[in-house]
Amino acid sequence: MTDTPDVKSTAPLPRPPLLTRPLLLRFVSVLGTSTSFYLLLSVVPAYATTGGAGDGAAGLATGALMLTTVVGELATPALVGRYGYRVLLIGGLVLLGAPALALTVSRDLWWIVGVCLVRGLGFAFTVVAGGALTASLIPAERRGEGLALVGIVGGLPSLVALPLGVWLAEHAGYGVVFAAGAVAALAAILAVPGLPDRIEASGRPVGMTEGLRTAGLRRPATVFAATAVAAGIVVTFLPLAVPGSATVAVALLVQPATTTLARWVAGRRGDRHGAGGLVLPGLLLSAAGTLMMALTGSAVAVVVAVGVFGVGFGIAQNATLTLMYARVPAAGYGTVSALWNFAYDAGMGTGAVAFGWLAAGTGYPWAFALTGVAMLTAVLPARHTHRAPTQVDAPRTSAPAPLK
């Protein structure tokens, strides 16, 4: 009998599982955070205007929320290193949820701003600590798909809660919305003890300063910040700029729906063909949608505009975050999470505050048009994003890091 020569199998290797128990538990805190955040996001600015302040108060409320968010995001990686993921997640959910109830105490602008400052800090803890933990629970081979799935879980509350918050405030009162936002965040604390507290990460840590100096991280973060400017404007000023609550409700439903769908499609395509080529299209679609929002007098144009923006924003979300995680070792996940969320929230906060003052002088149509043009200044870093694939450290192994 002759020996049979070895034949190399051409069958593809099995893909590692994506939906593990820790990731499913993490989804609970994602849902709680996102629901609490989006229920109040468009409601609080409108609530601020009922106290007698002008439309500038709406931008100030969102700007305050984003201010402490970005400050907290820069500090969170160091706090996670000292206290672990669970403490930061629990603390973040408490600070995000409990102060929502305090909004009913007064309609004074400075009281509302103070509550927003506290909630912003809690939001920072949850998104940065949670984002780094989530990335560590996703296999590298399925990173784009996994991040897209996380985007869907986080996007579903925005799809429902953003328009629902506006509707509830009009039909049931602001107090009901604030109570619902508090319960959503505080109830999610029950799932946190089941999450890993620390992760044994490969590679060396990457500091915030080093991350900002690295083109492979700085460029996608810059592009994403430019798209996030319009995101802050949409949720803050669309209810004030567009006549008719029905049009606003539909628009606030369409925008997160298209964002969530586009993020999923971009994630799957990015895993197969690379995410670098998606950054520029995401930016251009976001800018085009913002420009179209200048047609505030047409309900159809507004809905189409937020849909175009939503597609671009979803593509930009997934592509930039996937690229940034791919360019650091596992020990740098916290820094990437902080930088990306910093770009997100700094863009939203800057957009909300600046747009409020701009619209006061030009009117809403011109303010939308000028914002869309300004977003195009990020075209240059977007074009160069896929040309900087270098990593901050040596490549990682493809398996998730061990959990503790």
Select from 323, 326, 330, 254 the least CA-distant residue to 289. 254
Q: How far apart are alpha carbons 90 and 197 in whole angstroms?
A: 11
Residue with tokens 């990682």: 396
Binned at pLDDT 50, 70 and 90, residue 188 comes out as very high
User: Domains, the chain, ranges and CATH?
Assistant: 21-199+206-385 (1.20.1250.20)
Binned at pLDDT 50, 70 and 90, residue 113 comes out as very high
108 Cβ partners below 8 Å, 6+ apart? Answer: 51
> What's the mean per-residue pLDDT of the chain?
84
Q: Would you tell me how many other CB atoms lie within 10 Å of the CB of residue 343?
A: 25
Q: What is the pLDDT of residue 226?
A: 94
Looking at the chain, the whole-number percentage of residues with pLDDT higher than 70 is 88
Q: What is the pLDDT of residue 55?
A: 61
Q: Is the pLDDT of residue 4 over 70?
A: no
Q: Is the pLDDT of residue 397 over 50?
A: no
Q: What is the pLDDT of residue 310?
A: 95
pLDDT tens, residue by residue, 293-316: 999 889 999 999 999 999 999 999
Contact 302, 293 (CB under 8 A): yes
Binned at pLDDT 50, 70 and 90, residue 31 comes out as very high
Q: What is the pLDDT of residue 108?
A: 87
Averaged pLDDT for residues 19-41: 91
Which of the residue ranges 137-141, 169-173, 190-194, 340-344 would you say has the lowest mean pLDDT? 137-141
Q: How far apart are alpha carbons 138 and 271 in whole angstroms?
A: 13
Q: Is the pLDDT of residue 39 over 90?
A: yes
Q: What is the pLDDT of residue 391?
A: 54
Q: How far apart are alpha carbons 375 and 371 in whole angstroms?
A: 6
What is the value of pTM for the model shown? 0.75
Q: What is the pLDDT of residue 202?
A: 60
Q: What is the pLDDT of residue 111?
A: 92
pLDDT tens, residue by residue, 136-164: 888 877 777 788 888 788 878 877 887 88
Averaged pLDDT for residues 9-32: 78
Binned at pLDDT 50, 70 and 90, residue 258 comes out as very high
Q: Is the pLDDT of residue 232 over 60?
A: yes
Most confidently predicted of 70-79, 272-281, 290-299: 290-299
Averaged pLDDT for residues 77-94: 91
Select from 231, 235, 216, 238 the least CA-distant residue to 316. 231
Q: What is the pLDDT of residue 403?
A: 35
Q: How far apart are alpha carbons 224 and 134 in whole angstroms?
A: 20
Q: Is the pLDDT of residue 244 over 80?
A: no
Select from 288, 313, 275, 283 the least CA-distant residue to 379. 283
Q: How far apart are alpha carbons 172 and 371 in whole angstroms?
A: 34
